[in-house]
Structure 1
Amino acid sequence: GEALLSLSIDGLNHALGIELHGQATSAGWSINGRVAALSLGAQADAALVLVEVEKQPRLLLLDLSAAEIQKVPAVLTHGESVADLHIHGLTVEAGALLPAEAVAWLELRSVAALAALQLGVSEEQIRRTVAYVSERRQFERSIGSFQAVQMSMADTHIAVEALRTALWQLVYRIDAGLPAPSEALATAWLACEAGHRIGHVAQHVHGGIGVDLTYPIHRFLYWSRGLCLAFGGSAANLERLGDWLNDNDKLGWKYDLEEHQAL
């Protein structure tokens, strides 16, 4: 409980790809490059980060106190402390590099955890917005009774339930030890879409008060944007899902199970 470990696998979806590179040496691995916006990078003692080794992604355990690591601290829009890591001439022992299969193992669980967080953020955002439109009055009636507001809020409920369904499907498959690469990508895409759609509807129906920084609803929008960045964005996940579908003929989640298992 005394050491803080951070994590960054953003390179899997980042437009620039993985910017950290490893080269085998007699002493282990020579590491050079950059890790962008590592969560709590200035405060953490160590971090698991992606490094490209022999043209494939691997997870690397970094001791962030190493002199070869330069930290550039910053704060994201939603208030999270991050730091860019610039690494030059760092040598790590061979055991610091995790097995290749660790990347896929961690990505599935990272998507599930982030999507669960997005689900909670969006649910609370909807709850607060429903309470607001039920109390706010215009033309001698609550604005929640207006058809346009009701339809917009209905859309947010559809979005959050779609995310919930995909998330529980992903969690089930992880728990059952089943492969879930496409399920993870679909869940990440739905989380980005839900965060965006629900966030903007909530801001819209709040009117001017939604952009008042003394009122808390904007924090949920910023939080959702931060989570979407952590996922890599809607477009990147949709592109990876399209590539997967192009290479696989299993078009539904149950087609790699016996029929009785899928029910």
Structure 2
Amino acid sequence: MDFTFSEEQQAAVEAARAVFTPVAPDGVPSPALTSGPVADDFDRALWTKTADADLLSLLIAPEHGGAGLDAIALCLVLREAAKVLARIPLLEHIAATAAVQAHGSDELRQALLPDAGRGALVLTVASAGRTGHDGADLAVTARRPPETEGGGWVLDGAQTAVPWAFDADRIIVPAHTPDGATVLALLPGPSTDLPGLHLAEQISTTGERLAELHLDGARLTPHDIIDSPAAWPLLHDLLTTGTCAQALGLGEAVLKMTSDYTSKREQFGHPIATFQAVAVQAADRYIDLRAMEATLWQAAWRLSSAAPGPLPLAADVAVAKTWASDGVRRVVQTAQHLHGGFGADTDYPLHRYHAWAKHLELSLGPAAAHEETLGDLLASHPLG
């Protein structure tokens, strides 16, 4: 398979590197040293630079001011952002624009996409479900009361661990209807004081501010609902594949950090990188990263091209999640081991990468669950 990137995709990578390379991952307080979130807001200055580089409009069609690129370009940009632990809602925002672009009404696209592409409107997504272990589309109900009761849509339920919710202008929430369909509800941000919407603060393993979102009879107009049955699967696959890209970028940064350290740290008059035990562990983690990369591009390519295959797209996504979840954990654990006590120093950025890696691992879910999903797909789609 040819994994050569197009000129447009390569241009997106170059723009991302120009924006994210100067970012210092150790410029944020350590989660271990704060009693609350590491910051009250995301990095607005970095957000502005990202918007100025036209990276927020990657998946928006040209008629709405975007580049009209695909999931591969998104993953390439997320990979660069994750290398420096960029504190912006990049994945959630761009994935949300893709769902609106593909399945929103003309009115909704006109209202949201131009401002979202410029960064003037911040979008995020609730995708963890009620507990983090159940389907996000099952955690909230959406019903249409009769016109005599006000019409529109009424939402009830809860979502946990919603990223950047306190700072977003719109929160996209999947919800199931009485007939079993899934819709996307575009809630206004907390600044609007929508009746029936409440956010409770949560703190992630990274020290970032999350929200537990509660809906109690919150009412939306039909214009704030995307009722296409394909909208949530697209959004979910983009979020999942994008998280795998973040895990890859983080892992690559950590392995480079480990390589630099072991090349300089000496024992018995020699750099510890020359010791066989150290070299073998580093080589194993390099293999993990290459497997994470190959499975990521396979999933992103299937998602971008909608190309048919012997198995559904869900199989490629499950394989990518298996490698990303296990791989990012192994990379940071090996890095901590090879750094010794230095890796736990809060003045050194490795502990922040470890915290972000754990957050990504938990977001992706256990590899065993994805292997079970893959097994079920193989059983229901026999090959040959």
Tell me if both proteins adopt one fold, taking TM over 0.5 as the criterion: yes
Q: Distance in 2 between matches of 1:51 and 1:82?
A: 20
Residue in structure 2 matched with residue 214 of structure 1 by the alignment: 347
**What is aligned with 2:29?**
none
Q: 8 Å contact 1:118–1:191 — kept in the other structure?
A: yes
User: 2: distance between equivalents of 1:127 and 1:12?
Assistant: 37
**Residue in 1 aligned with 2:167?**
43
Note the C-alpha offset of 1:115. 1.6
Query: TM-score, normalised to structure 1's length?
Result: 0.87
1:127 is displaced (CA, Å) by 0.4
Give structure 1 stretches of 5+ with no counterpart: 252-263
Structure 2 residue matching 1:249: 3-state secondary structure: coil
More moved, 31-40 vs 9-18:
9-18
- Per the TM alignment, residue 236 of structure 1 is displaced from its structure 2 partner at its CA by 3.5
Match of 1:29 in 2: 153
Structure 1 position 156 matched with structure 2 position 281: no
- Name the SS for the 2:129 alignment partner: helix
Rounded to whole Å, the distance in 2 between the matches of 1:187 and 1:132 is 29
Q: Is the contact between residue 182 and residue 227 of structure 2 (CA under 8 Å) also seen in structure 1? A: no
Which residue does the alignment assign to 2:307?
Answer: 178
1:102 aligned residue: 231
Contact 1:22 1:31 in 2 (8 A): yes
SS of corresponding position for 2:162 = strand
Change beyond 3 A, Cα 1:13–1:103: farther
**Pairs within 5 Å for 1:92-171:** 92-95=220-223, 96-171=225-300
TM-score (norm 2): 0.61
Q: Is the 8 A contact 2:130 2:160 kept in 1?
A: no
Alignment of 1:45-60 (within 5 A): 45-53=169-177, 54-60=179-185
Residue 128 of structure 2 contacts residue 161 of structure 2 at CA under 8 Å; is this kept in 1? Answer: no
User: Which of the pair is proportionally richer in strand?
Assistant: 1
Q: Secondary structure at the match of 1:2?
A: coil
Q: Is the 8 A contact 2:140 2:175 kept in 1?
A: yes
What RMSD, in angstroms, separates the aligned Cα atoms of the two structures?
A: 2.1
Runs (4+) of structure 1 moved beyond 4 Å?
A: none
What is the match of residue 261 of structure 1?
none
* Secondary structure in structure 1 of the residue aligned to 2:234: helix
Q: 1: CA distance between counterparts of 2:321 and 2:340?
A: 29
Q: Which moved more, 1:2-11 or 1:81-90?
A: 2-11
User: Is contact 2:174-2:185 (8 Å) kept?
Assistant: yes
Residue 12 (structure 1) shift: 10
Q: Which residue of 1 aligns with 2:357?
A: 224
Output one character per residue of 1:158-204: Cα deviation in whole Å (capped at 9) or x when no partner.
Answer: 10000111111122222322252211111112111111110101111
- Partner residue in 1 for 2:22: none
- Counting only pairs closer than 5 Å after superposition, residues 46-85 of structure 1 correspond to structure 2 as 46-53=170-177, 54-64=179-189, 65=192, 66-85=194-213
What is the aligned partner in structure 1 of residue 375 from structure 2? Answer: 242
> How many pairs are equivalent?
251
Closer, same or farther: CA 191–137 of 1 in aligned 2, 3 Å: same
The change in CA–CA distance for 1:242 and 1:50 in structure 2 (over 3 A counts) is farther
Tell me the SS of whatever aligns to 2:165: coil
CA distance in 2, matches of 1:133, 1:113: 30
What's the secondary structure of 1:106's corresponding residue? helix
After superposition, the Cα gap between the structure-2 partners of 1:217 and 1:141, relative to the gap in structure 1 and judged at 3 Å, is same
**What is the alpha-carbon distance in structure 2 between the residues aligned to residue 196 and residue 146 of structure 1?**
23
- Change in Cα spacing, 1:134 to 1:227, as seen in structure 2 (3 Å) is same
SS of residue matched to 1:71: strand
In 1, are the aligned partners of 2:170 and 2:188 still within 8 Å (CA)? yes
Match of 2:260, as an amino acid? A
Question: 2: CA distance between counterparts of 1:56 and 1:239?
Answer: 25
The CA deviation at 1:208 is 0.7
- Give, in angstroms, the shift of residue 146 of structure 1: 1.7
CA 1:246–1:92: 2 relative to 1, 3 Å: farther
Whole-Å separation in 2 of the counterparts to 1:154 and 1:12: 39
Deviates more, 1:117-126 or 1:242-251: 242-251
Q: Structure 2 residue aligned with 1:203, among 323, 336, 361?
A: 336
Answer whether contact 2:292 2:327 (CA < 8 A) is retained.
yes
Give distance in 2, aligned partners of 1:16 and 1:175. 26
1:35–1:84 Cα contact (<8 Å) kept: yes
Paired residues of 1:11 and 1:50 also in contact (CA < 8 A): no
Q: Is the 8 A contact 2:128 2:134 kept in 1?
A: no
Question: Conserved in 2, the CA contact under 8 Å of 1:51 and 1:58?
Answer: yes
